[in-house]
Structure 1
């Protein structure tokens, strides 16, 4: 994989970027938490439980309000892997899919271990966060794909029939590599998705989502970002279900006032491309973040996934100040999300000042070790 060019950042650009990174990670987690309480319910069941408007606020899930599911856990480790990839460039090594895969293996350990292993000094700080050691309904494909240390690739993907949204929901951070060209962002997201989800519609949906996040994080409209993703997708075998789903999302926008019924039509397949279509549609028609997210979780499909995707997209577009303060206040893991968001923003804008080939010991290298663990 080619190395991207290094960008030069002004102060205002750094502040805007940090706000979008925070918005993307926090927004995705809010959407994840909003959908978690109704993830297995149909729209009718949701309305029976929460009223005619469906779920409009955090519902209890995993023993509390504002609890996040596996989508947020995995997204955190995607960020961790991307930071590690930048740090390991100092050694002359440059293969981000490997660093992201190692991060996903650290996530997999949280799904089986009782708690952090302090003896593993190369784990860094994120794997020491005790609240992450809880199983929050990850897709079976994520667990089996990361059940051993063998990394799936596009040539030999893990779980070649898996087409759920488990890989897409962890892919927003690839789009935050705003200094990269869109085709490189797409390629990285696709390669990392194939580590657990080998069906073309699953890994191409991840690539498309990353490109859309990338576009809005750079200031493009959602529509322009979707068009760019479509242009990149059409060059890849197996793209038709994904491009069709995105086309249906854009077409639904022109059908009039958004309704849960329209969302349910887009979501009804339950596959990765269907969740992507719901997220794009709700982000396009939502009057604000709150409205868009409520639309994104009230349907018959996987509400946690569609909420996470829509929230990440809206957060990357509008920045953290657009997120509802009441939801942020109750969000599980908010401090961790903010910490790693700021670390990512610092690494991408000030990396050479934090570490370099001649530095062997620093606080940054303690947080993000260069080792292979």
Structure 2
């Protein structure tokens, strides 16, 4: 049993073992991340004052048009999250086929290289051939080829083509972008928590795969903590319980202090029902991994109810920082907790790629669990 900062106990809820409910949460995590991403995309490079000048004193109150006049566009955050999921599906399918586990790192890295390929081409190729970089279920969708301000560390880390040894201790910076702890490690890592692994395994895998592009330990630890939180939410924990359990896991790793301090600040600020943009801004701007995670966690804790999802997502993007990344991570968390039914329907209907995202969530559930038949047409194609 864990306690909140004021000392009250946090009970652990019974897991959602039902396959339909589990699928709703997996869909919720991926679709919620896309909705948060689309909310934050148009205001990513605006200050809070700039957002309020453009949208009124309350800031953004729903999906708005990006500079090209398009509403509902996702960014590299959702793109890379989908490629993470595809890589994990391939790794699990290989394990089933060969009986040999442990290919997750390599196949997630290959998936990220397929994403990098999309960023270097204007549209899907007519033929993928046998090149493993160009093949994959996601490569046929034109909206995944759009460059939406991808992070430099993700681009340079993948272009470098270096693969750290799997046994390298997490606390040691790797040779790829050794000083980088950008939010690119966190914003793509929700799928590590959605595949049914226990929290320590999800933490370790997310942290290792963060090192594909970001060498600073905090980038990996923030990604690992995020994956562990998602795992606990999928198992039935409350947001507060999931965060505190992930912090317990985080504390076992040397060099955790920066990530732990950021999460502790978020927990201490989060008095349910008292959201504040000023509190959000006190946690940082979200350009680095631990700040993006802290902002998303704060918003999920201060507005944790199923009827609060929309307000929590709005809170997570109305600040002077990386609004699409913090919105995406917050959406991942609340979607994993409440399921896709809690996502604002009008926002979801306008979000780019929703049908593909829902299908990939179903593929995750099918590969890592039992298939469930859903009503046709629930997420019509864009």
Normalised by the size of structure 1, how large is the TM-score? 0.88
How many Å separate the matches in 2 of 1:209 and 1:85? 21
Are the counterparts in 2 of residues 157 and 194 from structure 1 also a CA contact under 8 Å? no
Cα-to-partner distance string for 1:124-144 (whole Å, 9 max, x where unaligned): 321122221111111100000
Alignment of 1:257-336 (within 5 A): 257-268=274-285, 270-286=287-303, 287=305, 288-336=308-356
2:123 equivalent among 115, 118, 130: 115
Change (3 A) 1:152 1:196: farther
Cα-to-partner distance string for 1:304-348 (whole Å, 9 max, x where unaligned): 110000000000000010011100111001111011111111111
Quote how far apart the aligned CAs of 1:56 are.
Answer: 1.1
Cα-to-partner distance string for 1:80-111 (whole Å, 9 max, x where unaligned): 00000011111244221111001000000000
How many Å separate the matches in 2 of 1:167 and 1:217? 20
Aligned residues: 341
1:146 equivalent among 127, 148, 158: 158
How many Å separate the matches in 1 of 2:148 and 2:310? 24
Name the structure with the higher helix share.
1
Residue 86, structure 1, aligned to residue 92, structure 2: yes
User: Structure 2: which 5+ residue stretches go unaligned?
Assistant: 1-15, 372-382
How many Å separate the matches in 1 of 2:351 and 2:273? 33
Give the superposed CA RMSD.
1.9
- In the other structure, the counterpart of 1:126 is 138
- Greater shift, 340-349 or 111-120, is seen at 111-120
Residue 166, structure 1, aligned to residue 184, structure 2: yes
How many Å separate the matches in 2 of 1:186 and 1:331? 29
Alignment of 1:223-242 (within 5 A): 223-242=240-259
- Greater shift, 330-339 or 153-162, is seen at 153-162
Change (3 A) 1:19 1:255: closer
Normalised by the size of structure 2, how large is the TM-score? 0.85
How many Å separate the matches in 2 of 1:92 and 1:204? 29
Are the counterparts in 1 of residues 286 and 293 from structure 2 also a CA contact under 8 Å? no
Quote how far apart the aligned CAs of 1:222 are.
Answer: 1.2
Quote how far apart the aligned CAs of 1:120 are.
Answer: 2.7
Classify the secondary structure of the residue corresponding to 2:155: helix
Are the counterparts in 1 of residues 183 and 286 from structure 2 also a CA contact under 8 Å? no
How many Å separate the matches in 2 of 1:214 and 1:316? 9
